[in-house]
């Protein structure tokens, strides 16, 4: 039994050493530093919610059931707004996180059928990812983008994550998801 314990101990130490070597060799230290999968309390320097989007005022609302997955485990602040016909979901984070989940993923988990659409460019030249989400009697045109305080913008959470994690963009960051109902 003592031989088995010693062998297990040595294998564990060897794996730890190998992981440390690989981390250093491939520059993965930022991945470990940010503790992916960890949750933190709401952002300490949260500036408050945006009061308008694309020149139109935002009115604070409650998260609908379909929108709750957007906030699950999110280490920052998240809220829903109404803006005319559209629902607007805002998320604010001060650090790179895999808990800023793409809108496609959140809605697919709520059993919405997802149909990709071409990216859309707004009047300020920012690219947004676009897709249609459908479930029974609902159909939504969904657009999403992430941006930072310096004016840099990404059309998807996936496009944003690695530049944020590797430090080529600095937080804080805003994620904006708009959901506009489509007629049948």
Using the Cα atoms of residue 162, residue 167, residue 168 and residue 173 in order, give the sign of their dihedral.
positive
Domain ranges, ordered by start, for the chain: 2-34, 52-181
Given this model, what pLDDT does residue 65 score? 80
Given this model, what pLDDT does residue 184 score? 61
Q: What is the pLDDT along the chain (184 residues), one digit of tens a residue?
A: 555 555 444 444 444 444 444 333 344 433 333 333 333 445 678 888 988 988 889 999 988 887 887 787 788 888 999 988 899 999 999 999 888 889 999 899 889 999 999 999 998 899 999 999 999 889 999 999 999 989 899 999 999 999 999 999 999 999 999 999 998 6
Structure tokens at 167: 């430090």
Predicted TM-score of the model (pTM): 0.74
What residue spans of the chain are helical by DSSP H?
A: 2-25, 29-34, 103-109, 157-165
Interior angle at CA 68, CA 46 and CA 134, nearest 5: 125
CA–CA distance, 74 with 40 (Å, rounded to integer): 8
């Amino acid at each position: 039994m003592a031989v088995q314990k010693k062998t297990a101990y040595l294998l564990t130490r060897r794996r730890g050493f190998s992981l440390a070597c690989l981390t250093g060799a491939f520059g993965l230290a930022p991945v470990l530093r940010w503790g992916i999968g960890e949750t933190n309390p709401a952002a300490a320097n949260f500036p408050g919610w945006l009061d308008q989007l694309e020149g139109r005022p935002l009115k604070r609302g409650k998260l609908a059931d379909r929108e709750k997955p957007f906030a699950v485990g999110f280490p920052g602040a998240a809220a829903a707004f109404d803006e005319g016909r559209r629902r607007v979901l805002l998320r604010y984070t001060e650090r790179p996180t895999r808990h800023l989940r793409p809108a496609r993923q959140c809605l697919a988990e709520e059993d919405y059928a997802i149909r990709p659409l071409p990216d859309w460019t707004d009047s300020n030249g920012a690219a947004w990812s676009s897709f249609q989400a459908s479930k029974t009697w609902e159909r939504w045109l969904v657009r999403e983008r992430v941006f930072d305080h310096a004016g840099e913008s990404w059309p998807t959470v996936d496009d944003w994550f690695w530049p944020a994690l590797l430090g080529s963009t600095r937080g804080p960051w805003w994620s904006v998801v708009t959901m506009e109902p489509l007629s049948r």
